Structure 1
Amino acid sequence: MITKEQIAADYQQIQDEICTALEATDGKATFEQEVWERGGGGGGRTRIIQNGNIFEKGGVNFSAVHGQLPHTIKKALNVEQDDFFATGVSIVIHPNHPLVPIIHMNIRYFEMPSSFNNDTPPVRWFGGGIDLTPHYVFDDDARYFHQQLKNTCDQFNTDFYHRFKTWADNYFFIKHREETRGIGGIFYDRLTATDDITWETVFEFSKAVGRTFAPTYLELVNRNRDKPFTDEQQQWQYQRRSRYTEFNLVYDAGTKFGLETNGRIESILMSLPPTAKWVYNYQAQPGSKEEKTLSLLKKGINWV
């Protein structure tokens, strides 16, 4: 039987592995760590990297929290129990280079024990995913990114990639802009054991997603980090960051969960970029790379 303590320990190890890989790639900045405790129970390790050779701001955060669920969260999750335990690793990286993409990853586990009278069965599931938000969409990079995710998914279930890619397209969608946040990736929630997949396999899949992050993202970083760029491209980067900010503040379920369960504000909002711009009524020039990128921010593009 896999325990919540084992899941949390393995997630901490993945956090360590990813931080080491990112520091080695940046070559300048190192992570600052803050260990924190949550008032309602549990805590975590916030790790922030800033002002590096390539990473302007990023976070690789681990948390393991427990306590009582607020009524609003119980209603949103459609559960009856009060006690909960949640653990996970959450990552957002904002590069300083407009040709290097933003990336987000999250792997998480959630459980609620059965009620004392055993009328309500225990609840437990895994969730997570990886999605990419390029400031400029390059076809070769997009195909590489999605192929790596498909390779990971196919090790566990050949249906996973298509299911979770569609889920990501629908989830990472800025409704008020009618555009996707980026080129998607995979996203899943409430993944648990079924007749076709064991609980142990679901856990191994969660860890595999976590370990897909570093080699996949760092390949994209190294492909693009030495390319020259213009001030106009940097301004476009800031414009695209504003869309990322809008999604996280308006729609992101993780942000809402953290704020409504008395999470640590600095850790929750580490996903926001250091600089973003909202240009009034921006119109991309016809035939420009900016226009091409906007044309690819839509659901249902099959990259592999």
Structure 2
Amino acid sequence: MPGREEIHDWFISLQQSICDQLEKADGQGKFISDKWDRPGGGGGVSRIITNGAVIEKGGVNFSAVWGKAPEHTLKMLKLNETSADFFATGVSIVIHPHSPLVPIIHMNVRYFEMSTGQYWFGGGIDLTPHYVVEEDARYFHTQLKQACDLHHESYYADFKKWADDYFYIKHRQETRGVGGIFFDYLTEDEKFTKQDRFDFVKSVGTAFAPLYTYFMTKNKALPYGEKEKQWQYLRRGRYVEFNLVWDRGTKFGLETDGRTESILMSLPPQANWAYSHQPEPDSNEAKTLSLLKKGINWI
């Protein structure tokens, strides 16, 4: 059964592997490393890339933190204890490209355990195109389904729906992008061992770099103009809204005194908000909005 040390070490190796593959695909940008310590226990390494040939800003962050669990966490877990310790480790990634025709991507894989003996895995990967291209969405979801099917036939359908519900901007009534998969609280049960769950997380983690470098290579040279850049800034604004208003990981990091710079590295370098903006009818921008819906079967 994998323990916290094995899981911790694998996440460190995943961070390095992803950074190596992204640097190679970008061809210009290089990650800088920023090691940090958390006063309450633990720390991490933020790997940041800026002004690459394809990537404008991106982060591949590793963390392993521990300490006293926040009161709201104890309530969420319905624990009677007034005090308990937690340990959490994982890798979190967000990439913002220069081109509005290359999508934003996010991934997080994580492990959490309590001194009460409870533990679980969580994570997800989702794609946020500035312009939704149905061919690209199908490719993305097909690759995710293949990764899920290696472990259980129900995983893709269950976790795809979870992603549709999670990556949803309620106050805009639109999904953040074309979704992906999202899962949380995966622990051992009558069907799955802890090793089974960890193996699934490994498959999700290793799927990231091949998926995103595919889109980097495919879309980086597509032509665009100022109209597309302005739309990109508006869509980045939606990304900011979701991360600051709805994202549980952002809230957990800030509530547990995580490192602010690392938590907010997910935000783009530039975003715009226009009052009551409406795209022109039958435009590519209008088509994109029409496809930001829950429940679309992309495969």
Provide the TM-score with structure 2 as the length reference. Answer: 0.98
Asked if residue 22 in structure 1 is aligned to residue 22 in structure 2, the reply is yes
Runs of 4+ in 1 over 4 A off after TM superposition: none
Corresponding residue to 2:109 among 107, 110, 113: 107
**1:257 equivalent in alignment to 2:247:** no
SS of residue matched to 2:215 = helix
Deviation at 1:112, TM superposition (A): 0.5
Note the 1:241-252 alignment, pairs <5 A: 241-252=236-247
Task: Provide the C-alpha distance between the structure 2 equivalents of 1:168 and 1:175, rounded to a whole number of angstroms.
Answer: 14
Measure, in 2, the Cα distance between the counterparts of 1:196 and 1:154. 15
The answer as to 2:265 corresponding to 1:270 is yes
Matches within 5 A, 1:71-220: 71-79=71-79, 80=81, 82-114=84-116, 122-220=117-215
Aligned partner letter, 1:131: D
Q: Distance in 2 between matches of 1:27 and 1:174?
A: 34
- Over the aligned positions, Cα root-mean-square deviation in angstroms equals 0.8
Moved more, 75-84 or 264-273: 75-84
Structure 1 gaps, min length 5: 115-121
1:226 aligns to what SS in structure 2?
A: coil
The equivalent residue for 2:3 is 3
Q: Percent identity?
A: 59
Check the 8 A contact 1:149/1:186 in 2, yes or no: yes
User: Matched residue of 2:263: which SS?
Assistant: helix
Number of residues of Structure 1 aligned to a counterpart in Structure 2? 297
1:232 partnered with 2:234: no
Structure 1, residues 85-114: CA drift from partner, whole Å, max 9, x if none? Answer: 000000000001000000000000000123
- Give secondary structure in 2 for the equivalent of 1:131: strand
1:193-251 alpha-carbon deviations (Å, 9 max, x no partner): 12112210110110110000000111111111001101100100000000000000000
The Cα of 1:72 is off from its aligned counterpart by: 2.3
The amino acid that maps onto 1:288 is S
CA drift of 1:74 comes to 2.1
**SS of residue in 2 equivalent to 1:210:** helix
Aligned to 1:62: 62
- Contact kept, 8 Å, 1:42 with 1:65, in 2: the verdict is yes
In 1, the alpha carbon distance for the partners of 2:177 and 2:281 equals: 20
Whether the 8 Å CA contact 1:73–1:260 is kept in 2: the answer is: no
| 1:43 maps to amino acid | G
Structure 2 regions of 5+ residues with no counterpart? none
What is the distance in 2 between the residues matched to 1:226 and 1:202?
A: 39
Amino acid at match of 1:170: D
State the SS of the aligned residue for 2:153. coil
Match of 1:38 in 2: 38
Q: Which amino acid aligns with 1:87?
A: T
Give 3-state SS (helix, strand or coil) of 1:276's partner. Answer: coil
Q: Give the deviation of 1:303 after TM superposition.
A: 0.4
Deviation at 1:78, TM superposition (A): 3.0
Q: 1:69: how far off?
A: 1.1
Shift of 1:282: 0.6
- Comparing 15-24 with 75-84, greater Cα deviation is found at 75-84
Letter in 2 for 1:68: K
Q: For residue 288 of structure 1, what is the aligned residue in structure 2? A: 283
Structure 1 residue 71: Cα displacement: 1.1
Q: Is contact 1:31–1:47 with CA below 8 Å preserved after alignment?
A: yes
Mapped partners of 1:268, 1:74: distance in 2: 22
**SS of residue matched to 2:48:** strand
